[in-house]
Amino acid sequence: METSLPDSPTKTGSLWKGKAKDVTSAQDEFGDLNPIITYRHLLSQNLGVRDPLRVVALCDSDAFYAACEMVRLGVDKDTPLVVLQWDSIIAVNYPARKYGISRMDKKMDALKRCPHLKIVHVATYREGETEPGYWDEVDTNTHKVSLDYYRRESLKIAAMFREMLPGCEVEKASIDEAFIDFTKPVREIILQRYPHLAQPPPDAPFGVETALPPPPPIVWDGKGAVIPVNSPPSEDSSITDGQISSSSDEPGRAEPLDKDVVSTWHDVALSIGAELMTNARDAVHTTLGYSTSAGIARNKFLAKLTASYRKPNGQSILRNASIPNYLRPMPFQKIRFLGGKLGRAFAEEYDAATVGDLLSITLDEMQTKFGESSIWVYEILRGLDRSEVKDKGSTLNKSMLASKNLPKPITNVQEGYRWIRVLAAELALRLNDARNMSPNLWPKTLVLHARKGYESSRSKQAPFPYTREVTVDIIAAAGDKLWKELVGTSTQMNVTNVQLSFTGIDFAEAGQKTIEGFFKPTSKRQRDSAELTDFNTQAEVGQPESSAGDAKEDSATDIIVSHTCTRCKKTLSLNLELSRFKDSEEQKTAIAALIMEHDDWHFAQDLVREEIPIRPIQPSASTSHKKTPKTKKRRKDPVGIERFFDRK
């Protein structure tokens, strides 16, 4: 979309003026770093990822889990603190990092380095408890880690960004990171501050296609560290997690400015993005107590690389002009997705270590050796990333998973029930958290996975009926049922990982607001879709069809419910003497109990006749996970770049 005009005014202010050779190579290698920005670019509403005024930030919380614990405990900001998960340190606050403590250390080693270190073990679910807690004694054999508190704090931070940054797109990228697209509000602010740009002057030679006049000087002070154009990152920089970070203790310190590099309108846009980012980060700090670090650049990939240039509590800006010297010395294997097999293959193939080493490889050559999709690598090495910042805040999280690796494997059926209860507690808490925002969320399916050693897992699933209150008991009862099915007649097993998950989470519609919705569909079609196949049954109703669709949460007092089992065709009726049931919840529980009881009866019958239609987990490794030919799908061998990624 960018327009190149031969005699554009900004052309004379080229970043690469006087360095003809550099102009060619940098522009070739890194795309158009100084595109001509016209009135049309500024006045267009929606230029998307090709917008030459695009401003994206990545904001990452500093020492996040440790910061959450500091907020919870109200400890002083200078107290060294680490968060422990069993024996391993998973988060280290910055005061503790001064003692040389890192995430890889063991608790005892960390204490040797800093005897007054505050050590907090992450919250855990303890068997029999419905809420996670911080206990004096934790044991991986009986407890399960809970990250719920960190998730909640993370949601608060994202909500504050959304509130503070109207018009920005905010995409939560991980538990402590968010991408923010500032392009839209930045464009509005440019137009407010420089109203003469609202339309091209009457003598503009190309109308809206005329380039904007030269930008005003930019005051970068207080906006963050501007990554230098001409010098590579300073000596004390180190690269962690694919990002260059500096050991500077001066958060927000600006680099000396590159005097000979002319500012562009994109720089103006970056500086405005930086102002907005600073305000939002300050709000998070003062209101919620979390310090963050941000990187601001032309796209997501570069914003992420920039975010850890100054940490903690820092903000860094990568001007387009600084991209070449910032990227060239970077070890490419530190870039996300280039750390594994693929990165090693590139390193070997081209005897290369840095991004600069790979820039001479043509796209053709790369694609011949690594497949068509390696265009992705080709572009990333050049700092090009066209991925959008997408606010998924309003999109529903379709699933929730509670998982436990079992250092002490489950060896008998009873132990399975215990773990299912622990996992059910986590799911109940997470679903109810989500229901605080959207009260009618309905996880339509409950899935139980069990894995033995390194074998692929086996699973069972069943529809999960809508209930207004989803308690640990309800989930555990449904989970127990799946466990029963999964283990079948086995008395011995060796399960090393167990997972319980909700999938197909959706908003329940009016007619499905309670389980009653299952029992009083209005039509055949609705009846067919009102599966309750958890119990291999189909619901039927003795209610006049006309009023059946109007189910309200508490208005089920006059419903007559019956239920036909698809296995034996027996009709189970809940004899509704109205006075027996206080409310619809009780009715619901009663019918569910009736069905479960009936299903249990079938289960017992099957056991006696050994007719259980599922395969038990066998203790023997050689036979247990063989799939029947029917279910076995032949996996296509990976081709091209896919060869370098492990299938999970």
91 makes contact, choosing from ligand DCP, Ca ion, none, with CB < 5 to 8 Å by partner type, with ligand DCP
Q: Which helix (H) or strand (E) holds 182?
A: none
Taking the complex as a whole, the smallest distance from the CB of residue 4 to ligand DCP amounts, in Å, to 40
Structure tokens at 407: 């250092």
- Binding pattern for the stretch 142-181 against Ca ion, x by CB under 5 A and - elsewhere: ----------------------------------x-----
Which entry of ligand DCP, Ca ion, none binds 90, CB below 5 to 8 A by partner kind? ligand DCP
* Strand partners of residue 562: 540, 573
Phi-psi bin for 473: left (phi > 0), alpha (psi -120 to 50), beta? alpha
Q: Is 406 helix (H, G, I), strand (E, B) or coil?
A: strand
312: partner contacted, choices ligand DCP, Ca ion, none (Cβ within 5-8 A by kind): ligand DCP
Of 173 and 218, which has the nearer Cβ to Ca ion?
173
Binding segment for ligand DCP (CB under 6 A), chosen from 57-65, 112-120, 279-287, 575-583, is: 57-65
Instruction: Tokens 């925002």: give the residue.
Output: 437
Query: How many angstroms separate the most distant Cα atoms in the chain?
Result: 94
Minimum Å gap between C-beta 59 and Ca ion is: 10
Give phi and psi for 413, each to the nearest 5.
-55, -40
At 366, give phi and psi (nearest 5°): -60, -45
Tell me how far CA of residue 355 lies from CA of 31, 370, 372, in angstroms: 15, 17, 20
What interhelical angle do 265-283 and 183-193 show, nearest 10?
A: 110
Residue from 58, 62, 288, 63 nearest 156 by CA: 288
Stretch that binds ligand DCP, among 61-69, 193-201, 394-402, 610-618 (CB under 6 A): 61-69
Please identify which residue in 91, 211, 361, 424 interacts with ligand DCP, judged by CB under 6 A. Answer: 91
Find which of Ca ion, ligand DCP, none residue 220 binds, CB within 5 to 8 Å per kind.
Answer: none
Instruction: Return the number of the residue (86 or 376) whose C-beta is nearest ligand DCP.
Output: 86
What sign does the dihedral 211-217-219-224 (CA atoms) show?
positive
Enumerate residues 6+ apart whose C-beta is below 8 A from 455.
621, 624, 625
Of residues 29, 60, 357, 540, which one binds ligand DCP by CB under 6 A?
Answer: 60
153 binds ligand DCP (CB under 6 A): no
Query: Which partner in Ca ion, ligand DCP, none is near 451 (CB below 5 to 8 A by kind)?
Result: none
What DSSP string describes 444-488? EEEEEEEE-TTSPPEEEEEE----SS--HHHHHHHHHHHHHHHHT
The whole-angstrom separation of Cα 225 and Cα 129 is 48
- For the chain, what's the residue count? 648
Could you tell me which stretch among 61-69, 385-393, 493-501, 600-608 binds Ca ion (CB under 5 A)? 61-69
- Contacting range for ligand DCP; rule: CB under 6 A; set: 54-62, 74-82, 137-145, 449-457: 54-62
Shortest separation between residue 154's beta carbon and Ca ion, angstroms: 10
Nearer to Ca ion, 104 or 578 (CB): 104
CA–CA distance, 279 with 164 (Å, rounded to integer) = 8
Containing 59, the helix (H) or strand (E) segment is strand 56-61
Among 95, 295, 312, 383, binds ligand DCP (CB under 6 A): 312
Q: In sequence order, what DSSP letters do the residues of 263-306 get, joined into one string? A: P-HHHHHHHHHHHHHHHHHHHIIIII---EEEEEESSHHHHHHH
Tell which one of 30, 39, 65, 370 touches ligand DCP (CB under 6 A).
Answer: 65
35 preceded by a cis bond (ω within 30 of 0):
no
Task: Find the part of the chain contacting ligand DCP (CB under 6 A) among 63-71, 329-337, 358-366, 539-547.
Answer: 63-71
Binding partner of 378, given ligand DCP, Ca ion, none, CB within 5-8 angstroms per partner class: none
Q: Which is nearer to ligand DCP, 153 or 357 (CB)?
A: 153
Q: At CA 326, angle to CA 320 and CA 330, rounded to 5?
A: 145
C-alpha–C-alpha distance, residues 161 and 184, integer Å: 15
Q: Which is nearer to Ca ion, 60 or 391 (CB)?
A: 60
Q: Which of residues 458-477 bind ligand DCP (CB under 6 A)?
A: none
Best CA proximity match to 123, nearest among 96, 143, 153, 94: 143
Residues 175-204 within binding reach of ligand DCP (CB under 6 A) = 175-176
CA 460 to chain centre: 26
Piece of 25-33, 55-63, 252-260, 316-324 that binds Ca ion (CB under 5 A): 55-63
Q: Would you count residue 69 as binding ligand DCP (CB under 6 A)?
A: no
Q: Choose the stretch contacting ligand DCP; rule: CB under 6 A; options: 55-63, 109-117, 501-509, 576-584.
A: 55-63
Task: List the interface residues with Ca ion, window 205-244 (CB under 5 A).
Answer: none
Q: Which is nearer to ligand DCP, 24 or 240 (CB)?
A: 240
Site for ligand DCP in 161-180 (CB under 6 A): 175-176
Rank residues 248 and 432 by Cβ distance to ligand DCP and give the closer one: 248
Q: Which is nearer to ligand DCP, 122 or 424 (CB)?
A: 122
Partner from Ca ion, ligand DCP, none contacting 357, C-beta within 5 to 8 A by type: none
In this chain, which of 29, 51, 62, 534 binds ligand DCP, going by CB under 6 A? 62
Q: Count of CB atoms within 10 A of residue 426's CB?
A: 25
- Please tell me the count of residues contacting ligand DCP according to CB under 6 A: 12
* 60 lines the binding site for Ca ion (CB under 5 A): yes
Give the separation between CA 526 and CA 509, rounded to whole angstroms. Answer: 13
Which positions lie near ligand DCP, rule CB under 6 A? 60-65, 90-91, 175-176, 311-312
Which positions lie near Ca ion, rule CB under 5 A? 60-61, 64, 176
